[in-house]
Structure 1
Amino acid sequence: MDLRDLRYFETIAELEHVGQAAERLHRTQPALTGAIRRLEKAAGAPLFERAGRGIRLTPAGKVMLRWARQLRFDAQDAQREMSDIGRGLSGEVRVGVVPTAAQFLMPKAVSRLLKEAPEVTLKTTVALVDALMPMLRAGELDLIVGTERRAEAGFVSQRLVEDAVVVAASAKHPVFAGKTSLKALGEYRWVLQPAGAPTRDWLDHSFDRHGLPRPVVQVESSSLQMLPALIAETGLLSFISRRHLEGPGRLRSLREVVLKDTTMRRHLVVTHRAQAYLPPAATRLIALLS
């Protein structure tokens, strides 16, 4: 099988359309059709079937896609490993980072790495872990520093630190004037991430479990970095990492609303593909984060 044919096949499988794949790859449709025919001849089975105006993978196609990706990963890893021989701590490391880790874990580790290895370059992508995992699966990232999630075959995770997510408010908020309870928190308005974000869902379910209405969200923001400042400026409640409230970089105008029912404990982990090649600089970065 030709690696170029497999690369074309991956793109067609992703887009489920030969014409769109031809545009992305800057190739003609007959060229891509020829690649598919060669792969189907080698596989001894059709790889695609019609689906409306597009196409979709057959069971054989799904198997082919898994191996096509693995072959691409192996070819890329071999090239990177050979180019790293004798270079030591240099080259590029592609890292996906969740916002909390980007703010509180990465700066110190990166600073130490660059002092040890001035020739290393880092390419970072900051996003939630659900957005980063597809990039790791596709081989676009070497590793993710993110929140722990259910184990997935083919990936290895190592715990770094524990993190607590808590309710926070301006130190002048009236919530601190009386007795704190989950019911009392429901009387105020909030600034939270959109529904579907892990911390937002956890908080919503905490109210659900006690038979209480979910928090009334007045401001919804997908930017975790913006939440602490919004809390301080608007007088709304929010749900953020306790790290924003501790240490020398803390916002002194904010306080934690201490309540067991609204304290979410999680771990930050580093995750990479189990069989993937990790550049020496990536391995060193993991050690510095640990």
Structure 2
Amino acid sequence: METASRDIRYFIAVAQAGSLTAAAQTCCVTEATLSKSVARLEEAVGLVLFERSKNGMLLTPAGKAIHGDAMKIMLAHEDLAGRASNLRQGHAGLLRVGATKPIFDDVLVNCLFRMVDRFPDIQLNFTLDIGAELIALLQQGHLDIVFSPLYSVSGAEVDIVPIGSDELSIVARKHHPIFNLTPTPKDLLRYGWILPRQNARATMWLNERFISCGLAPPRPSIEIDYVGNSIHRLVETTDLLLLRVGARNYPGKDQLLFSVHLPEFEFERPAYAIVRAGSYWSPGRQFMLDTVLSHFSRSSCAPAAGP
């Protein structure tokens, strides 16, 4: 049975969108084109793949059964196309990279100079999000490599390469009152906090630490996923405590932020490069991984101790 890869791609698009109208917009084709493609695939496999109604199109049990295989075929086709493109273009082409914001800010930005210098014709496309969302995009074929802490993976298989670690630490300004005493977990609750969203792994970990100490979790004064320079300046000039996630090591003599060290609140989590199992390692993807590994091997992940 020969089935065009385009029909498989359109089948997946309709299944994900839930209607011909939405899928047509995603694929930039007409609804009639999609309808004919789905009908052609159903005829080829001898199965009804969708339940059609005025509310849209839902996969039948048979459609659900072959959806996973269709995804594998589509991803294998994309890997083959990527390999062929690299062979034709040398070191040009598109590399789609996913990363958590701390890893991008602390690691990947520093690697971009070497990447662009080595592959001047490559096109880099970055997606920044939490790890679970990035891995889902990787499994769906929308990313080529992800740099993230890894907690668990379900669905399509992946290959992982340990690259180093990033650290969860509590950070305060240099002359914060917390440094005038030997702090306890209860002392931390006297101050306001800057935290990631409540369903972020880092915040969940912090809340679990307080609960394990018999205390209620802190209530955030500011809730924000990405901590940039403006947030750092806010912490440098207030008594807010910051749950910092990342690998940045602040400069020594000019350092204004310091880690509040408590054994109960120190955690280093491994970070990984994650790719689809068996996918093609383009020269650009391999060079980016090597550059990231080199960066982690040279960098210290620990912020300075309290003053």
For normalisation by structure 2, the TM-score amounts to 0.84
Q: Distance in 2 between matches of 1:274 and 1:110?
A: 25
Determine the structure 1 residue equivalent to 2:240. 236
Post-superposition CA distance 1:71-111 (Å, at most 9, x none) = 22222222221222264433332111212211222233332
Q: Which amino acid in the other structure matches residue 239 of structure 2?
A: G
Find out whether 1:155 has 2:158 as its counterpart: yes
Relative to 1, partners in 2 of residues 1:114 and 1:10: Cα closer, same or farther, differing over 3 Å? same
More off after superposition, 39-48 vs 20-29: 20-29
Relative to 1, partners in 2 of residues 1:207 and 1:251: Cα closer, same or farther, differing over 3 Å? farther
Determine the structure 2 residue equivalent to 1:221. 224
Q: Which amino acid in the other structure matches residue 130 of structure 1?
A: A
Query: Secondary structure of the residue that 2:237 maps to in structure 1?
Result: helix
RMSD of aligned alpha carbons: 2.4
TM-superposed CA distance for 1:20, in Å, is 2.5
- Pick from 189, 198, 203: which aligns with 1:195? 198
Determine the structure 1 residue equivalent to 2:40. 38
Relative to 1, partners in 2 of residues 1:144 and 1:15: Cα closer, same or farther, differing over 3 Å? same
Q: Distance in 2 between matches of 1:249 and 1:135?
A: 38
Relative to 1, partners in 2 of residues 1:69 and 1:169: Cα closer, same or farther, differing over 3 Å? same
Contact 2:103 2:246 (C-alpha < 8 Å) held by counterparts: no
Contact 2:161 2:272 (C-alpha < 8 Å) held by counterparts: yes
TM-superposed CA distance for 1:26, in Å, is 4.4
Post-superposition CA distance 1:130-157 (Å, at most 9, x none) = 2212221222211011112224451011
Find out whether 1:167 has 2:207 as its counterpart: no
Determine the structure 1 residue equivalent to 2:139. 137
Relative to 1, partners in 2 of residues 1:26 and 1:102: Cα closer, same or farther, differing over 3 Å? closer
Q: Distance in 1 between matches of 2:120 and 2:32?
A: 47
More off after superposition, 82-91 vs 6-15: 82-91
Determine the structure 1 residue equivalent to 2:186. 183
More off after superposition, 273-282 vs 225-234: 225-234
TM-superposed CA distance for 1:169, in Å, is 0.9
Q: Distance in 2 between matches of 1:97 and 1:23?
A: 27
TM-superposed CA distance for 1:171, in Å, is 1.6
Relative to 1, partners in 2 of residues 1:33 and 1:88: Cα closer, same or farther, differing over 3 Å? closer
Query: Secondary structure of the residue that 2:75 maps to in structure 1?
Result: helix
Query: Secondary structure of the residue that 2:198 maps to in structure 1?
Result: coil
The total of aligned residue pairs comes to: 289
Q: Which amino acid in the other structure matches residue 125 of structure 2?
A: K
TM-superposed CA distance for 1:286, in Å, is 0.9
Contact 1:155 1:272 (C-alpha < 8 Å) held by counterparts: yes
Find out whether 1:3 has 2:5 as its counterpart: yes
- Pick from 211, 214, 235: which aligns with 1:211? 214
Contact 2:107 2:247 (C-alpha < 8 Å) held by counterparts: no
Q: Percent identity?
A: 26
**Which blocks of at least 5 consecutive residues in structure 1 are unaligned?**
none
Contact 2:103 2:247 (C-alpha < 8 Å) held by counterparts: no
Q: Distance in 1 between matches of 2:118 and 2:20?
A: 47
Q: Distance in 1 between matches of 2:253 and 2:64?
A: 49
Contact 1:155 1:274 (C-alpha < 8 Å) held by counterparts: yes
Alignment of 1:14-29 (within 5 A): 14-29=16-31
Query: Secondary structure of the residue that 1:234 maps to in structure 2?
Result: coil
Q: Distance in 1 between matches of 2:117 and 2:23?
A: 43
Alignment of 1:245-284 (within 5 A): 246-248=249-251, 252-284=255-287
Q: Which amino acid in the other structure matches residue 228 of structure 1?
A: H
Contact 1:154 1:275 (C-alpha < 8 Å) held by counterparts: no
Query: Secondary structure of the residue that 1:61 maps to in structure 2?
Result: helix
Relative to 1, partners in 2 of residues 1:94 and 1:54: Cα closer, same or farther, differing over 3 Å? same
